[in-house]
Each structure stands twice: as structure tokens, then as C-alpha cells.
Amino acid sequence: MVDFPIPTSVFPRSRFTGKRLSQKNTCSSVKKNGKTLNLALKDSEGQTCLGVALWKKYYSMALQLINCGACLDDVDDNNLTLLHQTIINKNYESALFLIDQQADINIKTPDGVSCLELSLDSNLPDVTDRLCAAGCNTNVISEKAGCCLLWKALDAKLFACAQVLIRNKCDVDSWSAGPNNCRQTLLHKAIDENKEDVACFLIRSSCDVNSPRKPGPNGEGEEEARDDQGPLHLSASWGLVQVLQCLIEAQADVNAKDSEGDTPLHIGIRNQHHDVIFLLLSHPVLNLRVRNKKNQTPFSVAVATRNKKAAQAIMNRDPSVAEQHKGYQKRLKPRSKSLSLLEVLDENLIELLEIMNFFQKRSVKTFSNGTSSKFLSEMESLTAIYV
């Protein structure tokens, strides 16, 4: 072990400045002479010898002081331990040193903040990882923030720290109180708050991608606790395309029904989110014949809400779905090549779409003098009334 000078203040009646070091006395020589070191003395800034060594990053000195009996958990004038101070000041090397020397990682600040939470506040993923390895509980609720540590990290966009927590067995779902005291996961919360990057992070971290919200332990919660809407339904309702894409990649159930029997596609159509609609329609296992409690298929909802784009997109994928529509009539055929719009008026969008599809497939030779193109143009204008 290499000897080093120690502050003169370790001896009785000597003034400690934290900077003046004795050139004659060393830790080893004092121990040999049977003298006692007073390593608890502090300078004008409330720092002990060990604290000064850590701020200077003199780790060999710090180790000798510890071997001589320096307390790892001394507090300063603000009742912060050395570990608290090093983390708050982002002195991650000294923080790692203290953790390795078995400083008490469970002592909280006067404000009730743990060392693990401090490492998140300072965005020190290496310190977070070392604290987790030393036994810190990753699933505690922050007394100050009122949420789990994982959500605190995600809400602050500290994804590196969040990844460390998850790698160290943090609960990625973290069921907790939601709106009106229902129970919800972090994914529900992220979607409800339109935090797409957070939601996608959770999905890619293998969170629960299908469960709806639940009533509280005593039945708390209103509609949101009993609507059976999973993450896909919520994403379709809010129009969160990135989240929807991640959920589909994670094999969430695209045909899941909520309490009204609606699938995510029903909801996307009703809310006029066309990007959501087209993304769901691209899924190979999507069932277009699912009916809700009103006996409506997605196509029926498109017609009822006069959503021409959705209806046309559904028919492009599966033309036969029109036959499942309530009140469907056989495709109308023109009675003469001089057919006018007044003769094809109908009460719903399905008939107009059917007629348009029919004429688009007909040969241009069916009409003369540009009648075909003129008819289709007029038909498109009439169809636009319904959307």
C-alpha cells in the first residue's frame, strides 16, 4: 500500500482546512504509532477527508482512508451522504467507487429520494445499473413523484436508464391506479397521454399488448374500467399509427372485441383515422366479417358514417363484404346507355360504390361520345355528398 499525506486535522487541536496536508504523517505511520485518526472532522464546506479525496478523484487515498476507518456514510450540512452528493453532482466515478466499497445504498435524502431515483434524476445509467446489481428494488414507488421509477425515467425520456431498470427485473407493466381509480398498465397510460415514443419503447420491451384496463380492487372505475378496450383499440381511437404498427409487430390481436363488440378497425373507421384503417387492412389475419353488438361489420360502419375511403378500401381488399351489409341489394345495371344520375339515386353509399365499381370495369366502348367518363365524373360528385 502506498503511503499518502493526511490532513493535519486528524489529530486533536489541529485546524482542518481540507486542503492543507501533513507532509510528515501518513495513515500507516499513525497506525504503527498506535494513534487514533479523527476522520470525521469536516472542513468549512462540511466535507470530511474522504469527501475531499473523492471530489479530487484520489481513489487510492480514499481507499486508505476507508481502511483507516473513514465512514462511507457521513452526511454533509444538508444531511446528504457522500453517495447522494456524488450522484447529484454527476460524479459517476466516485459514485461507483462508493457503491463498490459497500456504502449504504438504502439511505434516502431528507426529501425521501432514494439513491436509485437520484441516479435517474442525474441520468447516470451506469450508476443505475450498479445500484440495481447491489440490490436496489427497481419496482418501488417514488414518494416524491408518486409513480414507479420506470415511468419516471420514461416520462423524462431517459430511455437508457429505463432499459437498465428493465434489464434488472423491473415490472414493465406496473399495474397501477388509472382514470377514476381503475387499474391500468404503463402502456395504457402512455397511449392515453399520446406518448408514442414511450408506448413503442414499452411494446418493444415485451409488455402486455392485449389486456384492457380493469376495475379497481373495490370495483372502482367508470366506463374505461369496463369497456374492454385493449391497447389496439386505444391506439385506433387516438389515431396513433406508430403505436399501432408496433402493436401489430408484437402480434397483438387485431380482431379483439371491446365491450360493444367493436374491433380496432370498427373504431378507426368511426373516428375517420384513415392511416389506421389502411394499416389494419394490410394485416393478413384481419377478419372483415366481425360484427359488433349492433350487428355491424367494419364495412357497415363505413357506410353508416359515410366514410367513402374506408368503404372503398375494404371493398378493394374483399369485394364480397358488401354482401354482408344489412340492406344490400344486387348490383344495379344500366337500363340504357343514356342513363342519368336521376335514375340511380339511392339512400346509402353502398349502392353508389357498387355502381361506380361496375362502370369502372365496363369497357369504354359501352358508351359513345365520352358518355362513360362523364357519367363516372358525375357519379363521383354524387358520392362525395356522402363523405
Cα separation, 62 vs 68, in Å, equals 10
3-class DSSP state for residue 203?
helix
What is the structure's pLDDT at 42? 81
In this structure, how many other beta carbons lie within 10 angstroms of the beta carbon of residue 78? 11
What is the structure's pLDDT at 45? 78
Q: At what angle do helices 274-281 and 231-238 cross, to 10 degrees?
A: 140
What is the structure's pLDDT at 373? 60
* Predicted structure pTM score: 0.78
Task: List Cα–Cα distances, 116 to 143, 186, 359, in angstroms.
Answer: 13, 20, 68
- Residues of the chain short of pLDDT 50, as ranges, are 1-26, 326-348, 363-365, 368, 385-387
What is the structure's pLDDT at 16? 36
Which of 319, 312, 321 lies closest to 287 in space, CA to CA? 321
What is the structure's pLDDT at 369? 52
Tell me whether residue 228 is exposed, middle or buried, using C-beta atoms within 10 angstroms of its C-beta: 0 to 12, 13 to 18, 19 or more: middle
Long-range CB contact pairs, 68-72, < 8 A, 24+: 68/27, 68/30, 68/31, 68/37, 68/39, 69/37, 69/39, 70/39, 71/39, 71/40, 72/98, 72/101, 72/102, 72/103, 72/104
In this structure, how many other beta carbons lie within 10 angstroms of the beta carbon of residue 267? 26
What is the structure's pLDDT at 47? 86
**DSSP codes, 306-321:** T-HHHHHHHHHH-GGG
Which of 109, 192, 205, 211 lies closest to 164 in space, CA to CA? 205
**Residue indicated by cell numbers 398498465:** 185
- Looking at residue 290, its amino acid is V
Long-range CB contact pairs, 141-145, < 8 A, 24+: 142/113, 142/117, 143/112, 143/113, 144/111, 144/112, 144/113, 144/117, 145/117
The total number of residues shown for the chain amounts to 387
What is the structure's pLDDT at 294? 94
In this structure, how many other beta carbons lie within 10 angstroms of the beta carbon of residue 77? 9
Cα separation, 52 vs 46, in Å, equals 10
What is the pairing mode between strands 183-184 and 5-7?
A: unpaired
Q: Name residues whose C-beta falls within 8 Å of residue 192's C-beta, 6 or more positions apart in sequence.
A: 178, 179, 184, 234
What is the structure's pLDDT at 152? 98
**DSSP codes, 334-352:** -SSTT--GGGS--SSHHHH
In this structure, how many other beta carbons lie within 10 angstroms of the beta carbon of residue 210? 13
What ranges do the domains of the chain cover? 329-387
